[in-house]
């Protein structure tokens, strides 16, 4: 199977504007993600997890090295779910989703279908500020999945939510993920979340950050949050992190 | 995959009316005694105070005029008579139309330039540092100087008043827009980058909604500055418009005439404030109402 996302020998250094201090985040990072694979990136704060997502999303450029997103027969479409839903408060839920579908050149029905898929069909005309935190994040998920992305990036998507809500949304993401194979990268602080959702977990550590451990999770989907094997693996990863 | 509605409701952070989505602008007026009471309260709270102020000012003026008994402080009746004369002649509307046209063209051009330059300056630190001194210079140059220079350089052509208005409003608008742009949440801009929103969508869906409060504040200030300079330009360099008429009455020592034109001026400003600005502000802020419903 060919890699659909290839990060090769990537270096990235940030220079603090005020102090002028240089901080090398990556020095020759390599990572391959295959079609249909969801890779979770875990690690302590400051190990470059979000920077990695920003580099892949094109929000940052690497100082050197290459990042290739390979699509089967078109330029890969990219969806991203952020820690905060990042909605336009002045637009109703549906229009927030339509922003992405319009930009991707997809018809408006896709936006409505996506809202329906996340269980918010009747909130299409509601403004984000009347929605709960979980509902707002559902709109963020709908926006990302509405464009039928080839590459899906999750940047700590449920860390701002209470555990019960986060658990429902993880199940929702699992269902959406099962619809068709994509390339996925999930940055999370939560090893249990990583073991539940991912096919593979990589542990980033050090400065500059490098991959210090890698775990393949072969449990078939749909998975159950209470699965004993997943919980045991999660404990192993926690052991590596602390 | 669709999850059940009860699942969604459990997540809801606040109670909602069952099955009724929040409607942005659909909170139509309902009838009933409660509604009449609230309308009465609104009238008492919103309309009475400014009307009361106007009545007090008029009474104070009348008292002063009666006490001083001089043509330099005409009584309300004289001013009203003069205003009535102006209304009866078609000249009033012609002069008002000319001044409004000059202010309108200048303001629209200034507004468009300001939105483009303001957003660019807000997004680009180098450009902001480069242009900021020019903006500050234009802000501190008195309107009188701008008017005089425009009259000297451009004479009686339409360029003169229009350029003068642009110079008066643009710095105020630009500096406000720069502040507005810098207040925009970078995370939203990042989201727009990830989803590759077009420049047009960004302008109308991101920048303008975020900038709306700044634009209204700046537009109010800008329009008052525009009026100030247009009157000066008309006094110094043109043979028409409200400013020219004010100067004419001043030359004739007709204080009642000066005040009648001033009232015309004030009425136009009131119409612009309540008829245009507040309506636009209400429309642009509808989402806040919908959100609070």
Q: What is the ipTM of this complex?
A: 0.90
B48 — pLDDT class (breaks 50, 70, 90): confident
Please determine, for residue B4, whether its predicted confidence score (pLDDT) is greater than 70: no
Please determine, for residue A159, whether its predicted confidence score (pLDDT) is greater than 80: yes
Cβ proximity of A173 and B46 under 8 Å: no
Taking CB atoms and an 8 Å cutoff, what residues of chain A touch B191?
A: 80, 82, 86
Residue the block writes with tokens 């990589």: A202
Please determine, for residue B67, whether its predicted confidence score (pLDDT) is greater than 50: yes
Please determine, for residue B182, whether its predicted confidence score (pLDDT) is greater than 70: yes
The sign of the torsion formed by the CA atoms of B38, B39, B40, B43 equals: positive
Cβ contact B291–A127 (<8 Å): yes
- Helix, strand, or coil here: A127? coil
Cβ contact A99–B197 (<8 Å): yes
pLDDT digit string, tens, across residues A98-152: 999 999 998 889 999 999 989 999 999 999 999 999 999 999 999 999 999 999 9
How many other CB atoms are there within 10 angstroms of residue A98's CB atom? 24
Quote the CA–CA distance of B92 and B89 in Å, as a whole number: 6
Q: In Å, how far are B127, B163, B172 from B110, measured between CA atoms?
A: 19, 9, 10
Averaged pLDDT score across all residues of chain B: 82
Give the per-residue pLDDT at B85. 86
Cβ contact A59–B12 (<8 Å): no
Q: What is the mean pLDDT of residues B150-175?
A: 88
Best B23, B194, B198, B200 member to test A by mutation, with max A CBs in 10 Å, is B194
Which residue(s) pair with A15 in the sheet? A22
Quote the CA–CA distance of A193 and A204 in Å, as a whole number: 16
Give the per-residue pLDDT at B20. 33
Give the per-residue pLDDT at B19. 33
Quote the CA–CA distance of A155 and B268 in Å, as a whole number: 53
Give the per-residue pLDDT at A28. 93
Give the per-residue pLDDT at A109. 92
How many other CB atoms are there within 10 angstroms of residue A31's CB atom? 20
Which residue(s) pair with A81 in the sheet? A154
Closest CB from B21, B197, B292 relative to A125 = B21
Please give the residue that has the higher pLDDT: either B35 or A112.
Answer: A112
* Helix H or strand E segment including B126: helix B125-140
Report the chain A residue with the minimal C-alpha distance to residue B211. Answer: A90
pLDDT digit string, tens, across residues A22-73: 989 999 999 999 989 999 999 888 889 999 999 999 999 999 999 998 755 6
In terms of pTM, does the model score above 0.80?
no
Please determine, for residue A153, whether its predicted confidence score (pLDDT) is greater than 90: yes
Give the per-residue pLDDT at A125. 94
Q: Which two tokens stand for residue B125?
A: 């630190």
Q: What is the mean pLDDT of residues B59-74?
A: 90
Please give the residue that has the higher pLDDT: either A122 or A238.
Answer: A122
Give the per-residue pLDDT at B291. 55
pLDDT digit string, tens, across residues B198-217: 999 998 999 888 888 898 88
Chain B residues 128-187 within an 8 A CB cutoff of chain A:
187
Please determine, for residue B175, whether its predicted confidence score (pLDDT) is greater than 90: yes
Report the chain B residue with the minimal C-alpha distance to residue A124. Answer: B21
Q: Which of A163, A166, A164, A158 is nearest to A188 (CA)?
A: A158
pLDDT digit string, tens, across residues B274-292: 888 888 888 877 776 655 4
A74 — pLDDT class (breaks 50, 70, 90): low
Give the per-residue pLDDT at A130. 92
Report the chain A residue with the minimal C-alpha distance to residue B22. Answer: A126
Q: Which two tokens stand for residue A31?
A: 């990572």
Q: What is the mean pLDDT of residues A138-167?
A: 92
Bridge-based pairing of strands A183-187 and A151-155 is parallel
Q: What is the mean pLDDT of residues B136-153?
A: 89
Residue the block writes with tokens 């009307």: B51
Please determine, for residue A238, whether its predicted confidence score (pLDDT) is greater than 60: yes
Q: Give the HSE-up count for residue A164: Cα atoms under 13 Å, Cβ half-sphere.
A: 6
Q: Which two tokens stand for residue A43?
A: 């690690």
Report the chain B residue with the minimal C-alpha distance to residue A167. Answer: B11
Please give the residue that has the higher pLDDT: either A101 or B1.
Answer: A101
Q: Which of B236, B70, A128 is nearest to B246 (CA)?
A: B236
Please give the residue that has the higher pLDDT: either A99 or B237.
Answer: A99
Please determine, for residue B11, whether its predicted confidence score (pLDDT) is greater than 70: no
Quote the CA–CA distance of B81 and B235 in Å, as a whole number: 24
Q: What is the mean pLDDT of residues A191-211?
A: 92
Listing DSSP states for A133-184 in one string gives: HHHHHHHHHHHHHHT--SEEEEESTTTTS-HHHHHHHHHHHHHHHHHS--EE
Cβ proximity of A13 and A22 under 8 Å: yes
Cβ proximity of A42 and A204 under 8 Å: yes
Best B16, B21, B25 member to test A by mutation, with max A CBs in 10 Å, is B21
pLDDT digit string, tens, across residues B248-270: 989 988 888 899 888 888 888 88
Cβ proximity of A85 and A106 under 8 Å: no
Please determine, for residue A88, whether its predicted confidence score (pLDDT) is greater than 70: yes
Taking CB atoms and an 8 Å cutoff, what residues of chain A touch B195?
A: 80, 99-100, 103-104, 143, 147
Listing DSSP states for A96-126 in one string gives: HHHHHHHHTT--HHHHHHHHHHTT-GGGTT-
Give the per-residue pLDDT at A61. 93
Residue the block writes with tokens 């609104």: B42
Please determine, for residue B133, whether its predicted confidence score (pLDDT) is greater than 90: yes
Q: In Å, how far are B10, B31, B290 from B28, measured between CA atoms?
A: 29, 10, 12
Q: What is the mean pLDDT of residues A182-189?
A: 93
């Amino acid at each position: 199977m060919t890699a659909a996302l290839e990060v090769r020998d990537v270096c990235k250094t940030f220079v603090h504007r005020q102090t002028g201090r240089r901080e090398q985040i990556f020095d020759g990072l390599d990572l391959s993600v295959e079609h249909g694979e969801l890779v979770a990136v875990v690690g302590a704060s400051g190990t470059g997890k979000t920077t990695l997502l920003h580099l892949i999303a094109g929000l940052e450029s690497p100082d050197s090295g290459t990042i290739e997103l390979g699509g089967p027969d078109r330029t890969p479409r990219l969806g991203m779910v952020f820690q905060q839903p990042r909605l336009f408060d002045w637009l109703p839920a549906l229009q927030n989703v339509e922003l992405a579908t319009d930009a991707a050149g997809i018809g408006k029905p896709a936006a409505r279908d996506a809202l329906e898929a996340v269980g918010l069909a009747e909130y299409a005309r509601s403004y984000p500020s009347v929605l709960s935190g979980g509902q707002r994040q559902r709109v963020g998920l709908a926006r990302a999945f509405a464009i039928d992305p080839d590459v899906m990036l999750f940047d700590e998507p449920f860390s701002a939510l209470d555990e019960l809500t986060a658990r429902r949304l993880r199940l929702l993401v699992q269902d959406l993920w099962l619809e068709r194979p994509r390339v996925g990268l999930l940055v999370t602080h939560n090893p249990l979340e990583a073991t539940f959702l991912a096919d593979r977990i990589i542990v980033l550590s050090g400065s500059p950050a490098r991959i210090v451990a890698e775990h393949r999770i072969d449990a078939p989907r749909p998975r159950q949050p209470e699965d004993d094997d997943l919980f045991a693996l999660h404990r192993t990863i926690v052991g590596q992190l602390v | 995959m669709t999850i059940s509605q009860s699942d969604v409701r459990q997540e809801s952070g606040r109670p909602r009316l069952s099955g009724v989505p929040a409607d942005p602008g659909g909170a139509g007026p309902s009838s009933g005694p409660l509604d009449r009471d609230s309308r009465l309260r609104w009238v008492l709270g919103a309309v009475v105070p400014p009307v009361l102020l106007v009545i007090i000012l008029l009474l104070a003026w009348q008292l002063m005029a009666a006490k001083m008994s001089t043509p330099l402080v005409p009584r309300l009746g004289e001013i009203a008579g003069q205003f009535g004369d102006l209304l009866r002649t078609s000249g009033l509307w012609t002069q008002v139309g000319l001044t409004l046209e000059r202010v309108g063209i200048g303001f629209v051009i200034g507004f468009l330039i300001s939105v483009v330059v303001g957003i660019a300056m807000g997004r680009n630190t180098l450009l902001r540092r480069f242009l900021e001194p020019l903006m500050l210079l234009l802000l501190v140059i008195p309107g009188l100087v701008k008017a005089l220079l425009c009259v000297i350089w451009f004479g009686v052509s339409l360029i003169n008043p229009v350029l003068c208005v642009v110079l008066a409003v643009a710095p105020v608008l630009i500096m406000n827009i720069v502040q507005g742009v810098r207040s925009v949440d970078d995370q939203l801009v990042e989201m727009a980058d990830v989803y590759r929103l077009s420049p047009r969508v960004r302008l109308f869906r991101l920048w303008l909604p975020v900038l709306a409060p700044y634009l209204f504040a700046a537009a109010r200030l800008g329009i008052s500055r525009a009026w100030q300079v247009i009157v000066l330009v008309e006094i110094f360099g043109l043979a028409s418009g409200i400013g020219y008429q004010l100067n004419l009455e001043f030359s004739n020592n007709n204080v009642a005439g000066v005040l009648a034109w001033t009232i015309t001026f004030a009425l136009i400003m009131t119409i612009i404030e309540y008829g245009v600005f507040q309506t636009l502000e209400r429309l642009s802020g509808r989402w806040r109402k919908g959100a609070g419903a």
